[in-house]
Amino acid sequence: MIRSVKHIKWLFPLGLFMVFLMVPSVQAVTLKAAAGGTGGGWYQAFSQLAQLVKEKDPSIDIKVVPGGGLANPPRVDAGEVQLGFAFPPFINAASKGKKPYKKAHPNIRTVAGGFGLNPLQFVITKDTGIKSIEEIVQKKFPLKFAADRVGTTDEWSCRTVLEFYKVTYEDIKKWGGKVMHLGYGDIETQIKDRNADATFVMIAPPASIITSISISRPIRLLEFSEELRNYLVNEWSFSPAIIKAGTYKGQDRDVQTVALFTTIMANKDVADDVIYRITKIILENPDRVRKISPAFKPFDPTKAGIGTGGQLHPGALKFYKEKGWIK
């Protein structure tokens, strides 16, 4: 009997050891995530998402690095970074090799979208008498246009809208107008000084640049027609949006437009389980996400997998299906 008891005592720690071996270990993983410029909105937002993930799952460490809306998709595709922020139209374009990209980037997958509403806003001063984009085209109006810098997402979106009307910057110049490519601060100055009478921005409303301009010069926010909205939604993965009446001085009615929502991308080779856990943490903590930025207030986790501009990563898709948010 004594011998039997000793035998049991000897087996007990061995049994615990065997049970420990049978429990799958979670391997720590470090991922790089391309956001925006250091200190900018995207950089700060992704840093807070990374902090949330780390807090809920210490095995996942996301290192945020500087990036940009146009540059991030190719970097994710190449595996230079494993995660990144981008807008759906650019994910769509990069994946398919459409403008502004010269080749397809097939390794891009999406995780979740809906982080921050950025409507397209075509602004013109009321003293021009112009009341619609169509009127500019039909009249071949000599527009003094202050566009964003070439290569920015704002400027690309502007050209995409003009292309719908088969209009180029050169056409505007031929009509007797002019086109300047400037940063927001200089755009504001040029319009206030009457060297420009219109601009086009993609930014969360109320945009300080537009608010400031409206104090100096009465402005009109030009509505996007149904045909234009459908084109941008169906061809480029924009989302329908409304800029509510009263957003800007003198805006007495709602204005129909389209918007871009920030989306998280991932390289297809990131482990399904890792992406599943990241997706689960972010989408099961919507209140934390909404506190990241005022632009994140509309975030709806149930719609985060829709309209991302690309193919969902299998790890993310698994989570959406478990929740019943995607069939």
Contact 196, 144 (CB under 8 A): yes
Give Cα separations from 7 to 4, 53, 85 (angstroms): 5, 46, 59
Residue 241: pLDDT over 50:
yes
d(CA 233, CA 173): 29
Question: Mean pLDDT throughout 288-306?
Answer: 92
Residue 315: pLDDT over 90:
yes
Which DSSP letter does residue 21 get? H
* Cis amide leading into 294 (omega within 30): no
Among the ranges given (114-123, 164-173, 232-241), the one the predictor scored with the smallest mean pLDDT: 232-241
Predicted confidence band of residue 252 (pLDDT cuts 50, 70, 90): very high
* Per-residue confidence (pLDDT) for residue 21, from 0 to 100: 46
What pLDDT, in 10s, does the model give residues 70-95?
A: 899 999 999 999 999 999 989 999 99
| 103 or 235: which leads in pLDDT | 103
d(CA 229, CA 233): 6
181: tokens are 């490519």
For each of the domains in the chain, give its residue range(s) and CATH number, in order of start: 29-116+260-323 (3.40.190.10), 118-259 (3.40.190.10)
How much helix, strand and coil, in percent to the nearest 5, is found in the chain? Answer: 45, 20, 35
Residue 20: pLDDT over 70:
no
User: In the beta sheet, which residues pair with residue 266?
Assistant: 83, 109
* Per-residue confidence (pLDDT) for residue 5, from 0 to 100: 44
d(CA 85, CA 42): 8
Q: What is the pTM of this model?
A: 0.73
Mean pLDDT score of the chain: 90
Predicted confidence band of residue 2 (pLDDT cuts 50, 70, 90): very low
Residues 6+ apart with CB under 8 A from 138: none
Question: Mean pLDDT throughout 107-125?
Answer: 94
Q: What is the residue-wise DSSP string for 215-281?
A: HHS-EEEEPPPHHHHHHHHHHH--EEEEE-TTSSTT--S-EEEEEEEEEEEEETTS-HHHHHHHHHH
What pLDDT, in 10s, does the model give residues 32-66?
A: 999 988 777 788 899 999 999 999 999 999 999 99
Question: Mean pLDDT throughout 299-319?
Answer: 95
Based on DSSP, count helices (H) and strands (E) in the chain, helices before strands: 13, 10
d(CA 71, CA 31): 18
38: tokens are 């250091």
